[in-house]
Structure 1
């Protein structure tokens, strides 16, 4: 009999014997099983290992295998607690990202989310671009491992400066780009500097890479260069993650002079800057990218089409130079080979068509209208909530709540009242300075729904601030 069938047969016989012996009983020794069934030590070891994985036996080194006290028979009721020991203590916390990606229940007004409302997406035009793309002769062939040259050239042009197609690597969306960058640029256990507050997906990706996020304070113009320099000196970090244009969640945009200062600070520290340029297409007034101002290979730039087009168009580019670029390409190759060519061809077809510019114009106008409407509604109905700033575009507004407000209680009260907002706590790598929430204007269906969401939120805030006796 072959080895696999031998393992299966021995496991079946031991499973039956364990059921007859009862909990706590010792199974025959490996030597005895080998003698009885004329099988190898490896076969016996793997058969016992299979029963241990099923939760049927417990192995004790030096003593043997014993029937478990709680034998599970169904797949859904198997005791999988052994995996806790096998996996160790490295935890990947997906909860912040899952919360941001969760579907909106019926009847809820979404003042949260990170993608265009379906009514604002160019789905029909994307479908037409996809149809044209898949008719190309090589649409289903293996693409170049770093991405289609024309698409890499397009992303390089968008980044600006002297960036070339050779500097660009096509990856599966901005989140994948961040995961690659954190793993490629920093060793597990080392610190990475981040703005505070910052994008929760970046915090989750850094933690999954085994990095320790250290907060660098911001003001209304973005990260403070003098505190960034101090953080580099104190921590010895060699990576700084930032969103210099329409920072999530605050909406801050670094002015050009401060961008220069950030680059100077990073160069002095011998450190990389990961520039998450996710929102470049969510405004008409984006300053030059950090990548376009970089002459030393300091910046690893991430540009994505997902936010402006569709959550399922997982196409982004990482721009880097030198050994860092080689390491990023190696990371992409060993993890996923390449981005599916039909998706790349579709993106290239769309951004090269007149529909791209028409879509940008329409979205920019809608963003201005919704941003102003949300800010006005908040000022009218929730004057006690202080707006951090009015951003030059983007999807979100960042609100500071009165100090006595319980942030978690407000978010829960808002949910019960039929409106979803993002709690501020999830955006901080360390202790938050006070209660905050992020409110989003782009996920609502239209302006009336946006106004209704603010009305519900204002009512939830009023309910939360009332004394407990009055609420009862």
Structure 2
């Protein structure tokens, strides 16, 4: 696909995001005049959208935006705020961590399959680090200075606009450890913390572990409504908001720039912290938003970024970036839990991400994720037309489907596994009661050649369950 075709497709996607289903797309002549491209380029972009099931051509009438799902897939997110729902009890081992039996197609994976990782870079890094003194020495408690500097520079921004420095960075053994330490330092037992709903199950687990009171804020394709965020702060007195503004897990959504600005204004006015979990920074298919921490001179944003998913699950290295007194408190909490992160692991991470081949790997990864995402989107439109796919993510690792209301989600998941497909039901991504029946499907897992067949089986199971419940 050419750059011009990509530009036309992105223009149409933005137009489609605010247009109701059934709307007629701008004519080819209008797009040619507006975007200064050829008719062939427009046809290529529209054809790609049609192949994904997003638009349909009607001879003699034009091209129209397809509906995103049946009316039976209701939207109950508003009840999250209306009922002031708060978190309940843990629900056992998360689906994303459950092993898949041999012969099953795994669409529940939490981590990219090995073929999506920088295998050669990693093997070379282990070999080099194994010949150094790293395995024999203790690193500085806050982390190796070179790695701390890399994480600070990776955020972007400029020193004059409030970008962080290396002294603001604490290296931790994975983002889950960083979340637990940050929640413990900034929230504490019995105190409220705002969370998007749905959101990352690991954050829910970490907050429950310290006894925090989770306050769910409904979110959507553009992020949470700033008015809902303001209301949650006012009604609960919370001073902390955990969020994933870029390619959120599980929804894949990105905060719209105007919403991000409005929410940051609310956070500042409340004298609060926003914990920005930037887990998917290395998995952008299209350019993503700049991290909120890139322009935060007063230290309201606590930024988390991990290399565990993008480098290797065995390299559990992440960073918590905070400024002011909060940094010292978080560092103390991190060191009380783990003292320091292995110098060898830190050096391996540095060896991988500072090599020129790392950027080459990320470019290849973007193309591979795009192909896998598009294939799975097409399969969902073809085989599960009952599902509502509200967001086609421009980054991340998953699709988030809303299904028609199912009476027993565990039975549906078990039926899928009996057909040879392991899926992750959506309930555990909700900090409180789920707003409907959902599935998270990973397009980054193994056996991508089997994903279409897996989606077909899921569609069959869904229709059988709906028929059985009448």
Q: Same fold (TM over 0.5)?
A: yes
Q: Which position in structure 1 is the counterpart of 2:111?
A: 115
- Give 1:92 deviation, angstroms: 8.7
1:193 alignment counterpart: 194
Q: TM-score, normalised by structure 2?
A: 0.77
- Paired with 1:302 and 1:221, the residues of 2 have a C-alpha distance of 21
After the TM superposition, which residues 431-442 of structure 1 pair with which residues of structure 2 at under 5 Å, given as runs?
431-442=433-444
Q: How far is 1:357 from its partner?
A: 1.2
CA contact (8 A) 2:178 2:334 kept: no
Shift of 1:466: 2.1
| Contact 1:263/1:294 (8 A) holds in 2 | no
Measured on the aligned residues, the alpha-carbon RMSD in Å equals: 1.7
Cα pair 2:221 2:391 within 8 Å, conserved: yes
Cα–Cα, structure 1 residues 316 and 94, in superposed 2: closer, same or farther, change >3 Å?
Answer: farther
Displacement of 1:139? 4.9
CA contact (8 A) 2:134 2:347 kept: no
Task: Determine helix, strand or coil for the equivalent of 1:386.
Answer: coil
Matched with 2:128 is 132
258 and 386 in structure 1: CA distance in 2 versus 1, 3 angstrom threshold: same
Deviation above 6 Å: which 4+ runs of structure 1?
A: none
1:344-394 residue CA offsets vs partner (Å, 9 max, x unmatched)? 000001111123112211211111001000000000011111102101121
Aligned to 1:351: 353
Match of 2:92 among 75, 79, 95: 95
Once residues 253 and 402 of structure 1 are traced to their aligned partners in structure 2, the CA distance between those partners, rounded to angstroms, is 25
* Equivalences for residues 187-226 of structure 1 within 5 A: 187-226=188-227
Give the one of 381, 384, 391 matched to 1:382: 384
- Partner in structure 2 of residue 232 of structure 1: 233
Structure 1 residue 468, shift from structure 2 partner: 6.3
Q: Which residue of 1 aligns with 2:260?
A: 259
Give 1:275-294 correspondences, 5 Å limit: 275-283=276-284, 284-294=286-296
| Whole-angstrom distance in 2 between the partners of 1:204 and 1:173 | 15
Contact 1:116 1:309 in 2 (8 A): no
| Alignment match of 1:149 (pick from 139, 142, 145) | 145
Whole-angstrom CA distance in 2 between matches of 1:144 and 1:404: 52
Taking structure 1 as the reference length, what is the TM-score of the superposition?
A: 0.77
Structure 1 residues 374 and 237: CA distance shift in structure 2, 3 A: same
1:401 aligns with 2:403: yes
Asked if 2 retains the 8 angstrom alpha-carbon contact of 1:94 and 1:204, the reply is no
CA distance in 2, matches of 1:247, 1:293: 20
The one-character-per-residue Cα deviations of 1:302-343 (angstroms, maximum 9, x if unpaired) are 011112121111000000001110011111222211000000
**Which residue is equivalent to 2:100?**
104
Moved more, 173-182 or 121-130: 121-130
CA deviation after TM superposition for structure 1 residue 227, in Å: 0.5
Name the counterpart of 1:271: 272
SS of 2:219's equivalent?
strand
Between Structure 1 and Structure 2, whose CA radius of gyration is higher? 1
Tell me, in whole angstroms, the C-alpha distance in 1 between the residues paired with 2:151 and 2:395.
21
Cα gap change, 1:273 to 1:212, in 2 (>3 Å): same
Could you tell me whether the CA contact under 8 Å between 1:256 and 1:288 is conserved in 2?
A: no
Matched residue count: 377
C-alpha distance in 1 between matches for 2:224 and 2:108: 24
State the 1:405 CA deviation. 5.7
Instruction: Work out the CA distance in 1 between the residues paired with 2:413 and 2:337.
Output: 38
Q: Secondary structure at the match of 1:366?
A: helix
**Hey, what does 2:77 align to over in structure 1?**
none
Question: Over residues 395-420 of structure 1, what are the superposed CA-to-partner deviations in whole Å (9 max), with x where a residue is unaligned?
Answer: 11111111356433321211111111
Q: Measure, in 2, the Cα distance between the counterparts of 1:309 and 1:262.
A: 32
Greater RCO structure (CA 8 Å; 6+ sep): 2
For the Cα contact (< 8 Å) 1:239–1:271, is it kept in 2?
yes
Give distance in 2, aligned partners of 1:137 and 1:411: 49
Partner of 2:328: 326
Change (3 A) 1:125 1:462: same
- Indicate the residue corresponding to 2:184 in structure 1: 183
Given that residues 111 and 439 in structure 1 are in contact (C-alpha distance below 8 angstroms), is that contact kept between their aligned partners in structure 2? yes
Question: What is the Cα deviation at residue 122 of structure 1?
Answer: 2.1
